[in-house]
Structure 1
């Protein structure tokens, strides 16, 4: 069941994902747009490719893990891109978080070259990528999803075929909407509790054990307590994702009041210079609005 995989994008998420694929017995040829990112993959038994062509020309599966739609389009199209050099019948799996319309257009153009596509964005952050426990939401043909399962199983624990092309990205956008609103609610609760004189750690413990508990509260509790905003997922990337939510909602006629507010608050944090901080740094904005300096 091992595959030859061309892996495009060895960043914060892509590098540990490529490593896990190599450890699972797949032959992985990794390429990154900037140099110096192939070390972990090489240590895991993978190979570094000098170009996209070299990474994909013999691949059964090509995986892209990139920041946004423009980067996916850049590596996919043109004379040096994936579609120009992947073999006919290959399966391209885009695991980036991008606009659903970009995914559907990629699938359409790839089909003209006899190349199949799945959109398969992930949730779980850097820790989930390292541990191989990502949630993977997949759009595309059911038969292609079944073929890709051994690849997905090296990367994640919750793996669901959600529907046709673009639907994986739509589900990921919903994930980011819920996450943004949840983090903002937790941040507001932190300031509410502190200004009331409550012992914060004890309060968050008891809240976490009841209906108010959530993965966000569990995973971000120490960020809030310590004001530690070392990024597991940056504010800048979450701002990009909320743009996808807003654009898609407008296109389909969905009115999302809380999503709009959350997008504005995240955008405000980015404008203040917090783009490279963890998205739990939404707490800084609540602190500023509440009359004291953010920590």
Structure 2
């Protein structure tokens, strides 16, 4: 069974739910988790574990699900009327369109906190669970994704320079991608130097991911993207700042930098990470 199939099966068998008399809250909790998506962050974590400490793979699936919960909560909140006001995500109606805004906010809140419960209830040693929680909280919260989103929303319609744009997307997108790799390294109990190397690679990979997303928004169609395209005209994107030709050149440059960093990694892990890059970027 492939890594993708293993995670898909685990996700479907372990969807968050709660006993209550609410008519559709459990359905709403599962909706966006089941709507598809790349599961890119979960795959990064599981790739590290698969190649460096495969005996921990089954236990690591729960941590990969925690990552997916955090990422999905961020998408749900990102789509809200107060932020991007998006009608579609992953080719399906966004939660506030399918249900209502209150449900979307609360589902996002639930998935955010559920992620840390999943880590706390996992079978890893306490010191590993503590580090996993710390890394996820740092990179998904105030010092990472939340700060990036705050800057993105506040400066919409106001042009940032390249340094500011990279700061925005290093926080909003890249830190959680980097955290996925670092969390895999923590599960494998790698040395600090190896953990840092994977994290630094993840930051570059995250910027590459964002540039690619901006290019897809500019060049792609709604069906292939799974969401409205040509939607970021007021956003601070790499395409809007650099133009499409220079954005494509920046993507190529970052791709080469990522591939060069892979030369220092375990050969099998580097091969797997390169495959993920080629498949999704």
- TM-score, normalised by the number of residues in structure 1: 0.28
Larger Rg: 1
Which has the larger helix fraction? 2
Which has the larger strand fraction? 1
